[in-house]
Amino acid sequence: MNARNQRPTPVGGGATYRSAAYTSLLPWQVRERRFSATGLGRRGLNPDDVYAFLDRVAVDMAAVYAALAESRLETVRIKNALRRWQTDQARARNERDNTR
């Protein structure tokens, strides 16, 4: 499968409720999105289309930020565990060296 079409796997089974029919936006979908023009006599884009799309982008961005925050917390947990392990190893090594 082309990397462009791969969807990220939600962290923890997904942090927000979504229907099974909902699929996350991919970057290329955002870049290529086009909105319909408004009716005759008006200029610009159909505001309902724009706001619906912006709402969808906001939901996906919130999911990305939540996943990023979770990743950062996990990084802190791993670093702290590594520091504890290194301290324990250094302490054990010092005890071995002092008993010789």
Read off the pTM.
Answer: 0.55
**Greater pLDDT, 31 or 83:** 83
Q: What is the mean pLDDT of residues 53-65?
A: 87
Domain ranges, ordered by start, for the chain: 25-98
* Cα dihedral 66→70→75→78 (10° resolution): 180
Instruction: Give pLDDT, residue 79.
Output: 98
- pLDDT, one tens digit per residue, over 38-53 is 777 777 888 888 888 8
Residue 37: strand pairing partners? 45
Instruction: Give pLDDT, residue 11.
Output: 47
